[in-house]
Amino acid sequence: MNPPALTIVGPRINSSRKIIAQAIQEKNEALIQHEARIQHEAGAAYIDVNAGAFLEQEVEYLPWLVRTVQAAVDAPLWLDSADAEAVEAALEVHRGKAVINSITFEKQRMDAMVPLAVKHSCGIVGLTIDSIRVPTEAEKKCEIAAHMVEALTAAGIKKEDIFVDPVVMPVGVAPEAGKETLAAIPLIRAAIPGIHIVCGAGNVSFQLPNRALLEATYLAMAMAAGMDVAFLDPCNTSIMASIIAAEALLGKDEFCIRYISAYREGKLGKK
């Protein structure tokens, strides 16, 4: 059977969530580990950990999250932080190959994080944002991605360890944003073979009703365009059902075995 077309990064251990922030402050290992387990069991290959709400304590809290999560699940983590000191502390205790989430194509961010990725032989997420603006045009996203990957590989990072995020903006604010990011994915795929392309569909539906419908639809479209990694909540059954269906339709699920199994297990909604 073919491997899944999509690698999932679980985002639920984020200090912007009140329940997670409280658990981090109280060093509530049980709650954090429960969140890690349910995401991993639901299909997340990576778990993202974020302690960014605690600016003064992040260098303490981020490695604590790494140790706590990896005591519960055998999975690599995405270290979601703009603080290089906190990222380095987390990398020192991480087992296996971590991913730094994330950098922009700005000198200050590159100088802070790229040496850490090289030193620890880990992956890195690059957003298609430069020092001037957050571009919406597909061609500009591809241009920034190409320059960024060139700089990363020159520094010694392997292409297979680079995750390019073409940054989707809310369509409720920028109507062309979703279409332009979808157009950017095959451009980046063609221009820079060997890298991963990741999308977080949560932004696309910001401040709109029935966000899960928009996100599930957008993820299926992004998969068809060439996205291979998604930042999404694997515990959201409607989104996961859409991904399973998309894999079958894209020929990534040989003889639709995963689709049929998911149907029999009741994962695709009402029979």
| pLDDT attached to residue 235 | 95
177 lies in the same domain as 194: yes
CATH number, domain with residue 90: 3.20.20.20
| pLDDT attached to residue 271 | 62
Domain that holds residue 33: 1-96
Strand duo 77-80 + 123-130: pairing: unpaired
229 lies in the same domain as 244: no
**How far apart are the C-alpha atoms of 157 and 144, rounded to whole Å?**
17
Which of the listed residues 39, 65, 96 is the one where a domain comes to its end? 96
Task: Please answer whether residues 80 and 49 qualify as being in contact, where contact means their C-beta atoms are separated by less than 8 angstroms.
Answer: yes
| pLDDT attached to residue 30 | 98
| pLDDT attached to residue 134 | 87
112 lies in the same domain as 61: no
Stated pTM of the model: 0.95
243 lies in the same domain as 158: no
Domains identified in the chain, total number: 3
**Of residues 154, 79, 150, 75, the one with CA closest to residue 120:** 79
Which of the listed residues 78, 96, 114 is the one where a domain comes to its end? 96
Task: Please answer whether residues 212 and 241 qualify as being in contact, where contact means their C-beta atoms are separated by less than 8 angstroms.
Answer: no
Q: What is the pLDDT of residues 127-167, one digit of tens each?
A: 999 987 889 999 999 999 999 999 999 999 999 999 999 99
Residues of the chain with pLDDT under 50: none
| pLDDT attached to residue 133 | 81
125 lies in the same domain as 27: no
111 lies in the same domain as 80: no
| pLDDT attached to residue 5 | 77
155 lies in the same domain as 54: no
